[in-house]
Amino acid sequence: MKKILIIAFLIGITFSCEDFEGWNVDEKSPSEVPASYLLTSAQRNLAVSMTSTNVNNNVFKLFAQYWTETQYTDEVNYDLTARNIGGNFFTAMYRDVLIDLREVKRLTNADEFLDANTKANQIAITELIEIYVWHVLVDTYGDVPYSEALAGVDNLLPKYDDDAAIYADLFTRLDVALSQLNNGGTFGTEDLIYNGDTDNWKKFGNSLKLKMAVQTADFDAARSKTLAAQAVASGVFTSTADDYAFPFQLTPPHTNPIWTDLVQSGRNDFVLTNTFVSLITPLNDPRASVFMDDNKVPYLGATYGTGVSYVDYTHIGDLWHTEDLEGILLSYSEVQFLLAEAVERNLITGNAATYYNAGVTASIIYWGGSQAAATTYLAQPSVAYATAGANWKQVIGNQKYISLYGRGFEAWSSWRLLDYPNTFVRPAISGEAVPRRYIYGNGDADVNGVNYEAASAAMGGDLKSSRVFWDIKGLGN
Whether residue 304 lies inside any domain: the answer is no
Question: Which residues on adjacent β-strands are paired with residue 271?
Answer: 68
Residue 211 has a pLDDT of: 99
Number of domains in the chain: 1
Instruction: Give per-residue pLDDT as tens, 171-198.
Output: 999 999 999 999 999 999 999 999 999 9
Residue 14 has a pLDDT of: 38
Whether residue 11 lies inside any domain: the answer is no
Contact 270, 316 (CB under 8 A): yes
Whether residue 395 lies inside any domain: the answer is yes
Whether residue 154 lies inside any domain: the answer is yes
pTM (global) more than 0.95: no
Q: Which residues of the chain have pLDDT under 70?
A: 1-32, 473-477
Q: Which amino acid is at 120?
A: A
Q: Which domain holds residue 209?
A: 35-257+321-459
Whether residue 429 lies inside any domain: the answer is yes
Residue 32 has a pLDDT of: 61
Whether residue 65 lies inside any domain: the answer is yes
Whether residue 74 lies inside any domain: the answer is yes
Whether residue 465 lies inside any domain: the answer is no
Report the CATH number that the domain containing residue 344 is assigned in CATH.
Answer: 1.25.40.390
